[in-house]
Every structure is written in C-alpha cells, then in structure tokens.
Amino acid sequence: MAIVSAEKFVKAARDNGYAIGGFNTNNLEWTQAILRAAEAKKTPVLIQTSMGAAKYMGGYKLCKDLITDLVESMGITVPVAIHLDHGNYEAALECIEVGYSSLMFDGSALPIEENLEKAEDVIAKAHAKGISVECEVGTIGGEEDGIVGDGELAPVEDAVRMAALGVDFLAAGIGNIHGPYPANWKGLHLDHLEKLTDALPGVPLVLHGGSGIPDDQIRAAIKLGVAKVNVNTECQLAFCAAMREHVGVFNANEEEYMKKKLFDPRKFLKPGFDAITASVEERIDVFGSANKA
C-alpha cells in the first residue's frame, strides 16, 4: 500500500477502542524492523522521525524517500504514515514541503496563544496537502540533565481550544514522560485523561512516552480515548540489550565467528534489529491494533 496520512486509521482506532503505534526510527534497519513487525501484525503504523533523528539520518527528504522506497521494495501492504515527531514550526513546514504524510507540530514550549496561532497555520497548510496533524498542549516531562520531571497535566481548556482548530489527534500530558520511568513515578493520571476525553468527545488522544508504562495502564488509557501511542526508548533498549548479549557471545566464540565473517555488519547487527521487530510486535498486541489494517 502507498504511504497514507494517518487521520483515518487513528480515528478508526479511537472509534473502536484500540491504539496505533507511532514508532520512532533511527536508521535504515530500524525502519525495516518496524515495517516487518507492522506487516506481520497486519496493523496500520506511523513511522516517525524526531528532528534529531532526521538530522542524524541525512534530512527530512532522505527519511521520506527511505521510508517510501522501503514500503515499496519490501512489498508492505499495511497503511504506513511518515510522521514528524515533535517538530518545531520550521520543521513542520519543511516536512509539508518534502512530502511527509503526517506531522506533529509541537508548540508546547511556547505561550499558549502562540502555540495555537502557529498550530492553526500549520494545520491549514498541512490539510491543504492532505497531511494529518498532531499538536500538543501542556508539556510532556522527561529526564533532562539528570533532572526528572514528573510529567505535567495538560489544561483541559487549552486542549479544547487546540482541538477546535481541527487537529487530527492531540497529545496532552497525563503524567507521562519520555525516556525510562523513574522508580518513584506515580503512574498515569487516568482521572485527568477522563476529564480530557469528556471535554473532547471523539477526538483521538496521543500518549507520548509509551515505553515502560505498565500494560494495564496503557490498556486503561486506550479505553479512555488514547488512539496513538508513541514508542522510542523501548526499541532502543531492546536493541541495546540484544547487542550487549550478542557481543558477549561473539567474544566467547571469536575464532569461529571471525572465520565465518560474522563481523559483516549485515550479520553482526542482526540480533539488535530482530529484537526491535519483536519489541514492536509485542507493543502492537498490547495496543490492540493487530489485524486492523
């Protein structure tokens, strides 16, 4: 299937009580790993690049071309959206220009009036080209310079104003944070999510920081209106764990592995990327989107 925008399949998830995974990619093999998992599970999927990952990979156009070409060469049949994750205003405009099919404009660090003003502009420009748009109100916490933020609760009135602009899906903090959750994390504020959902009937909500939230809390959040869950750190940790183990096995069998040329990166890195595929498949089962393509 060709690359598609995400609003239809995310809305279908919202209406039918499951969530679509938004999985961040970091390179070629990462992208293949996510696509393999989505195809195996027969789920729609968003492959998303942060601004930093896009820069690392060689720019937005390269990312868009890479994902588009892989979808074709791998014979992917499920709907795939190419999504910008946490883009600033300039990045959002660039992604509209190069042909991303979906984007997040993250103006959450701006004063709310400016966030709304820029969001309205991005939504108009993106929708004119059939591109779906995610915006954010409040901020999502996380670890920065060793200081762990608790994860903020998005003001309901801000969420209502943002939704009224015609955003396709909305990220609103409910105590979630990016990166690993600290041991003393208090969990998702499902009561606040309920307030948001009551004020925004039918609007698909996005749960950022999807890595490491207990599955029962994720399922409860989906029941209360979350229709897209973002996952990045979990795949990074799966890759890292598998590679650390593999390096140990490699070192223990050095002579044999060198003789078999297992230092070839196409072979050497395979356990890491297989671990990402397994991790994505497992998340898709928890989100309930298998067989919804």
CA–CA dist 182, 211 (Å, integer): 12
Q: Cβ closer to ligand 13P: 196 or 280?
A: 280
Identify the residue whose tokens are 């671990």: 275
Task: Please give the C-alpha separations between residue 177 and each of 11, 54, 95, 161, 210, in angstroms, as whole numbers.
Answer: 24, 22, 25, 23, 8
Task: Indicate the angle between helix axes 89-98 and 60-73, nearest 10 degrees.
Answer: 40
What residues have CB less than 8 Å from 201, skipping those under 6 apart? none
**Nearest distance from residue 113's CB to ligand 13P, in Å?**
24
Q: What tokens were used for 134?
A: 């995610």
The distance from CA 9 to its chain's CA centroid, rounded to whole angstroms, is: 14
Instruction: By CB under 6 A, name the binding residues for ligand 13P.
Output: 24, 85-86, 178-179, 208-211, 230-234
* Least distance (Å) between residue 211 CB and ligand 13P: 3
Query: Of 31, 48, 47, 50, whose CA–CA distance to 79 is shortest?
Result: 47
Select 214 or 248, whichever has its Cβ closest to ligand 13P: 214
Amino acid in the structure at residue 41: K
Of 230 and 289, which CB lies nearer to ligand 13P in the complex structure? 230
- Strand 147-148 and strand 141-144: the pairing is antiparallel
Active-site residue identified among 15, 65, 69, 85: 85
Q: 211 or 277, CB closer to ligand 13P?
A: 211
For residue 73, CA distances in Å to 37, 38, 67 come to: 15, 15, 10
Q: What is the CA radius of gyration of the chain?
A: 19
Q: What is the Cβ-side half-sphere exposure of residue 127, based on CA atoms within 13 angstroms?
A: 13
CB-wise, 9 or 181, nearer to ligand 13P?
Answer: 181
- Min separation Cβ 3 and ligand 13P, Å: 20
Output the six-digit token pair for 224. Answer: 């209360």
Q: Give the up-direction half-sphere exposure of residue 216: CA atoms within 13 A in the CB hemisphere.
A: 1
End-to-end CA distance of the chain: 10
Judged by beta carbon, residue 76 or residue 171, the one nearer ligand 13P is 171
85 in active site: yes
Smallest separation (angstroms) from ligand 13P to the CB of 177:
7
Q: What is the smallest separation between the CB atom of 255 and ligand 13P, expressed in angstroms?
A: 39
CB of 252 to ligand 13P, least distance (A): 32
Catalytically annotated residues: 85
